[in-house]
């Protein structure tokens, strides 16, 4: 009963996690299956697995049940538009809507996947982070599988360390972790292949390497090999790129009011899925419906008919909302100039020469620009030519692309009506364009 209680609590937490982020469901399934491998009789293991599974469903219902119900009542698909090949909502194509771009292309790639995405991080992520621990843990799992198979064929154990582990009270917990890790990886490999969905296993990878070495080697060798392997894997990951972070503000999301003439009868379209603009819909007047076109949604004839009916009911001005060009390098330029001035690197010709030598050795995307003023700073930092952007030309290109997309829906963009407005996430500006559309 005590074990069942703890499993019910952990299953509830796992279910809440899956409800908040559905990609975690693969790990809930992996752990539910891994519980069948712990010690005790078959019926006891099955009962514990069932307790955990029911608790997962309860946590899932608590975290996302209200949303599933709302989507079901509105669209006839609790995961709309995902898995519409199963639920067949008329407002989307009957497809599963799965991102397969990051999956292995064939069986050979699937078998070598940890090596492939370690060498080419772009196969699984937009950002590159070289994690050498994945080939290490993969090879160790294969070595353990070969050793277990050889021992089974010989009718013997798997070696001294494995035999000792089998008699240890912690062997069942180690087996649970290793089986969970393997099943979680296989589920991720089959469904996603996107690295950020693998983070739960990434956190467990060092411990998994350590446990595998304990089963494969004598204790002293296992400790030494584990220390060296984990240290080297930690070092190899540097340097790495990151998404960076926006500075904190009182309001996380802000946008200028575009001043719509009659929000109660207006309509706003969006026409690109990347970068996403759904967050902007919450900042427009609440009576204005926002409709996504040409954004990758699996549109069905019923969906298009619903859009036409909505458009016909809105007799005011129709708009299209587009992203506006912004040079994020310019945002950090002022801070870099302030830092250079504070360090005393702009007040004399000698200091400017020293600053120029420094900028030639670091990747700050800036160069040193001399100033002719007789007093004040003698130089300043300026963006290198390749990092300067013609914002007006970029906005015009975005308008032309949007006009092509809108034509497919019988709509015409009016370029002369386009205006750029401010919007931001934290301190990071994400300006947008609003243009009028002829019906």
pLDDT tens digits, residue range 269-294? 999 888 888 888 888 989 999 999 98
Highest mean pLDDT out of 70-79, 256-265, 294-303: 70-79
- pLDDT at position 170, please? 66
- Reduce the DSSP state of residue 93 to 3 states and report it: coil
What are 174-193's pLDDT values in tens digits? 999 999 999 999 999 999 99
Place of tokens 């509105």: 74
**Mean pLDDT along residues 115-123:** 92
- pLDDT at position 137, please? 97
What are 8-60's pLDDT values in tens digits? 999 999 999 999 999 999 999 999 999 998 877 888 889 989 999 999 999 99
Separation between Cα atoms, residue 284 and residue 300, nearest integer Å? 27
Per-residue b/e over 86-96, b at no fewer than 16 CB within 10 Å? ebebebbbeee
**Mean pLDDT along residues 108-112:** 95
What are 288-297's pLDDT values in tens digits? 999 999 888 8
Is residue 277 within 8 A of residue 425, CB to CB? The reply is no
Pairing between β-strand 290-292 and β-strand 423-425 as defined by DSSP bridges: unpaired
pLDDT at 241 over 60: yes
Whole-model pTM?
A: 0.79
Q: Phi and psi at residue 130, in whole multiples of 5°?
A: -85, 105
- pLDDT at position 156, please? 56
- pLDDT at position 401, please? 93
**Binning pLDDT at 50, 70 and 90, where does residue 364 land?**
confident
Share of the chain above pLDDT 90, in %: 60
pLDDT at 164 over 50: no
Output 261 or 268, whichever has higher pLDDT: 268
């Amino acid at each position: 009963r005590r074990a069942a209680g703890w499993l019910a609590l952990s299953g509830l937490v796992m279910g809440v996690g899956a409800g908040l982020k559905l990609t975690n469901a693969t790990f809930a399934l992996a752990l539910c299956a891994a519980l069948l491998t712990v010690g005790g009789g078959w019926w006891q293991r099955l009962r514990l697995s069932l307790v955990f599974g029911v608790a997962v469903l309860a946590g899932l219902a608590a975290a996302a049940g209200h949303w599933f119900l709302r989507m079901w009542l509105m669209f006839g698909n609790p995961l709309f538009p995902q898995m519409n090949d199963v639920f067949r909502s008329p407002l989307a194509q009957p497809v599963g809507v799965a991102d397969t771009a990051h999956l292995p292309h064939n069986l050979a790639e699937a078998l070598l996947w940890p090596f492939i995405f370690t060498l080419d991080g772009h196969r699984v992520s937009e950002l590159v982070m070289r994690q050498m621990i994945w080939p290490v843990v993969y090879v160790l799992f294969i070595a353990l599988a070969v050793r277990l198979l050889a021992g089974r064929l010989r009718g013997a154990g798997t070696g001294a360390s494995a035999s000792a582990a089998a008699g240890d009270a912690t062997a069942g917990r180690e087996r649970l972790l290793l089986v969970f890790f393997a099943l979680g990886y296989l589920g991720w490999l089959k469904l996603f292949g996107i690295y950020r969905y693998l983070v739960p296993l990434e956190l467990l990878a060092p411990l998994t390497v350590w446990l595998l070495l304990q089963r494969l080697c004598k204790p002293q060798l296992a400790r030494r090999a584990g220390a060296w392997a984990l240290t080297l894997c930690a070092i190899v990951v540097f340097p790495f790129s990151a998404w960076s972070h926006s500075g904190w503000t009182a309001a996380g999301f802000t946008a200028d009011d575009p001043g719509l003439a009659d929000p109660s009868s207006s309509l706003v379209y969006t026409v690109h899925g990347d970068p996403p603009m759904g967050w902007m819909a919450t900042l427009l007047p609440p009576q204005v419906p926002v409709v996504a076109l040409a954004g990758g949604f699996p549109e069905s004839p019923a969906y298009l008919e619903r859009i036409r009916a909505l458009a016909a009911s809105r007799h005011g001005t129709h708009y299209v909302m587009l992203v506006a060009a912004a040079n994020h390098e310019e945002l950090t330029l002022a801070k870099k100039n302030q830092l250079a001035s504070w360090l005393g690197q702009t007040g004399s010709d000698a200091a400017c020469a020293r600053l120029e030598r420094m900028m030639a050795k670091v990747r700050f995307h800036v160069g040193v620009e001399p100033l002719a003023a007789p007093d004040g700073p003698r130089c300043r930092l300026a963006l290198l030519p390749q990092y300067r952007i013609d914002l007006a030309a970029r906005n015009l290109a975005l308008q032309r692309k949007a006009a092509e997309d809108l034509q497919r829906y019988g709509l015409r963009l009016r370029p002369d009506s386009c205006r750029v407005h401010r919007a931001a996430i934290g301190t990071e500006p994400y300006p947008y364009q609003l243009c009028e559309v002829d019906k």
